[in-house]
């Protein structure tokens, strides 16, 4: 292991990556998985999300699931946040560049209504984009 690399250890952490089935989202997911994080890859295409999740799970020996959602729709992002907690037990990291507002609002409402989430927040453009949720 490289000196200092332990600072980037994400073992035991869970990341939700919207747009995670291709391009920059897939690259971010691979980077997070390589550091030890478990993943939820979100895409409008369920088959693509599940296929990429299976590929990353095998390649990085992590737990990874795919989930279909249109992150510009509030109902989809609420379902995404609920499924992340149900399937992976917690959410520590969210990569939410596409349609940021509905995703941030869903993570905010999840945090305020779930005892599994702390109030720890990071912001982008003043919107909450990271919550820490635990079982």
- At 123, which helix (H) or strand (E)? strand 122-124
Q: Compute the C-alpha angle 17/23/28, nearest 5°.
A: 40
pTM of the model: 0.72
Q: Which residue has the higher pLDDT, 114 or 4?
A: 4
Strands (E), 59-110: 64-68, 93-95
- Angle between the 23-34 and 46-60 helix axes, to the nearest 10 degrees? 30
Q: Say which range, 44-48, 94-98, 125-129, 130-134, has the weakest mean pLDDT.
A: 125-129
Q: Tell me the HSE value of 45 on the side-chain side, using a 13 A CA sphere.
A: 9
DSSP summary character for residue 10: -
Domain 5-130 -> CATH class? alpha beta
Q: Compute the C-alpha angle 57/51/27, nearest 5°.
A: 65
DSSP summary character for residue 66: E
């Amino acid at each position: 292991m490289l000196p200092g690399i332990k600072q980037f250890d994400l073992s035991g952490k869970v990341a939700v990556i919207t747009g995670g089935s291709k391009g920059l989202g897939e690259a971010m997911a691979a980077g997070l998985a390589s550091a030890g994080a478990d993943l939820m890859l979100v895409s409008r295409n369920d088959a693509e999300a599940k296929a990429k999740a299976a590929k990353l799970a095998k390649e990085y020996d992590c737990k990874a699931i795919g989930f279909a959602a249109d992150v510009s729709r509030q109902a989809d992002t609420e379902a995404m946040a609920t499924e992340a907690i149900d399937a992976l037990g917690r959410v520590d990291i969210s990569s939410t560049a596409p349609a940021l507002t509905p995703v941030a609002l869903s993570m905010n409402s999840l945090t305020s209504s779930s005892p599994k989430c702390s109030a720890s927040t990071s912001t982008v453009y003043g919107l909450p984009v990271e919550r820490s949720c635990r079982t």
